[in-house]
Amino acid sequence: MNGGLLVAGTTSDAGKSVVTAGICRWLVRQGVKVAPFKAQNMSLNSFVTREGAEIGRAQAMQAQACRVEPTALMNPVLLKPGGERSSQVVLLGRPVGEMTARGYHGGRQERLLGTVLDSLAELRGSYDAVICEGAGSPAEINLRRTDIVNMGIARGAGLPVLVVGDIDRGGVFASFFGTVALLAPEDQALVAGFLVNKFRGDVSLLEPGLDMLHGLTGRRTYGVLPFRHGLGIDEEDGLRVSLRGTVRESAVEPPVGEDVLRVAVCAVPLMSNFTDVDALAAEPGVVVRFVDRPEELADADLVIVPGTRGTVRALEWLRERGLADGIARRVAEGRPVLGVCGGFQLLGEHIEDDVESRAGHVEGLGLLPVRVRFAREKTLTRPVGEALGERVEGYEIHHGVAEVLGGTPFLDGCRVGHTWGTHWHGSLESDGFRRAFLREVAAAAGRRFVPAPGTSFAALREEQLDRLGDLIEQHADTDALWRLIESGAPSGLPFVPPGAPA
């Protein structure tokens, strides 16, 4: 078997990442050696592979669904927004510069098609199947000429395309039909059919519409996936996280101790790697929420200032919102604060930034004895260490170089009292360290909170991935899906007018 499939969507956030992970987990349970692939990802939520390459966290999660180690080949192009108009371009795991959207789509993107196709070909030479994820919608006709992630990669590699639609949003039949009808004949020939996502209710009520859709397009529906809470693992974009919502919709067990712990995460601009707090949210009795007002810090037992692609901009935002003063008051009162990556940098004394914001010398919050200088070379590592008497693993993604001038060592950063700072993302996924850290927070906050002794974040993630595989196995036509992956799009698929505009 040397199969492949592109999972496209009618819109952004239709469920492509989750469906791709589900198909990967279903296949690997059938004994198939499978890998994920996304040609181009736009995300501030990234990960570092063992060889020191930066890729989207969604592809790292999909690699885990495949039970393989993630590599740069699985996400050859990563775009990390630095504002409304520009992004850092990461090519095969390494940053190669900043570029505006106009500059990227004006020629650079087309030149990357060869790199993308080479990466996909290398993966296909090593795996039985490669399940690719598209981006946005394949019917974005203004971008089709330069497309390297949807129909551009499907055409270049001869991949069949499965279009996912989120029925919970409404209008899914129009979205399916319109997606096909806005594609050129050569692109339409690769669109094999549809997959309905997030359906609530009786599937028999949907079937007449699916039959009519088949009559209109000549394309079948490969499954109807029911709505399930708590499946949003390792989302692509932290900018879409609700400021008032909890991190996870899924219920957790009641607290082991008498009290809960309340964690407030400052929703800074260009927030990156917001998944750092997922391991906290998975703990029984820990309540995590994102906040953007100083009064929301008042009842928090722990305040986290997360990573950001714009440290100086986040610092200004905290000051404008009054959150900086609120954090400073907490530190003065000895109440717990944790800064991660960019959040760690802005807790320091000052920042010299001629790289990210080009703001030069900027005074930090002065809450940790740290000075930060931004280097042009990005640090991309997978460190292992010890803190609070426990082994810790993490990953680093940053331009800022911290000079620690005092305090007690804490991972690569420091702590002063109950204020901690580190560049390490993912440290809280280390179960022993997380429990030790929460015990310190609870003691400092005066809470009778006890960490659950048996919580394994890795096991919880595996359970979620298995749930995704179950969705595909139980609610998709897996025989038809197998044929599609193995043999490609059916021949003779009809053209749906009007097709792509000239």
Distance CA 348, CA 365 (A): 6
Length of the chain, please? 502
The pLDDT of residue 275 is 87
The pLDDT value given to residue 99: 79
In this prediction, residues 83-95 reach a mean pLDDT of 87
Is the separation of the CB atoms in 223 and 477 below 8 Å? yes
Q: Is the pLDDT of residue 252 over 90?
A: no
Mean pLDDT of 270-281: 90
255 pLDDT above the threshold of 90: no
The CA-to-CA distance between both ends of the chain, in Å, stands at 38
Output the average pLDDT for the chain: 92
pLDDT at 82 over 90: no
Mean pLDDT in residue range 187-214: 96
CA 485 to chain centre: 25
Contact present, 20 and 133 (Cβ < 8 Å): yes
User: Catalytic residue positions?
Assistant: 341, 425
Q: How confident is the model at residue 249 (pLDDT cuts 50, 70, 90)?
A: very low
Determine the pLDDT at residue 233: 61
Looking at residue 248, its pLDDT comes to 45
pLDDT at res. 374: 96
DSSP 73: G
Which stretch of 202-206, 225-229, 263-267, 282-286 has the lowest confidence by average pLDDT? 225-229
Q: How confident is the model at residue 111 (pLDDT cuts 50, 70, 90)?
A: confident
Taking a C-beta distance cutoff of 8 angstroms, is the pair 237, 16 a contact? no
Its sign, for the CA torsion 51, 53, 56, 57, is: positive
Question: In this predicted structure, what is the pLDDT of residue 84?
Answer: 65
Q: Are 25 and 129 in contact (CB under 8 A)?
A: no
Q: Does an H or E element contain 56, and which?
A: strand 54-56
Strand partners, 128: none
Average pLDDT in the 247-256 region?
Answer: 60
Separation between Cα atoms, residue 492 and residue 369, nearest integer Å: 68
Mean pLDDT, range 489-497, rounded to an integer? 96
Query: Which range among 268-272, 342-346, 363-367, 475-479 shows the weakest confidence by mean pLDDT?
Result: 268-272
Mean pLDDT over 126-149 rounds to: 94
Say how far apart CA 89 and CA 477 lie, in whole Å: 38
Confidence of residue 164 (pLDDT cuts 50, 70, 90): very high
- Residue-wise DSSP of 97-141: EEEEHHHIIIIIHHHTHHHHHHHHHHHHHHSSEEEEE--S-TT-T
Q: What is the pLDDT of residue 17?
A: 93
Listed residue (310, 348, 371, 19) closest to 164, CA to CA: 19
pLDDT tens sequence across 319-372: 999 999 999 999 999 999 999 999 999 999 999 999 888 899 999 999 999 999
Question: In whole angstroms, what is the distance from residue 89 CA to residue 81 CA?
Answer: 9
Q: Across residues 36-61, what is the average pLDDT?
A: 95
**Distance from C-alpha of 307 to C-alpha of 305, rounded to nearest angstrom:** 7
Asked if 15 contacts 164 with a C-beta cutoff of 8 angstroms, the reply is yes
Distances (CA, A) of 125 to 2, 32, 118, 122, 381: 8, 14, 11, 5, 28
Which token pair is 288?
Answer: 């995590």
Mean pLDDT, residues 81-110 = 79
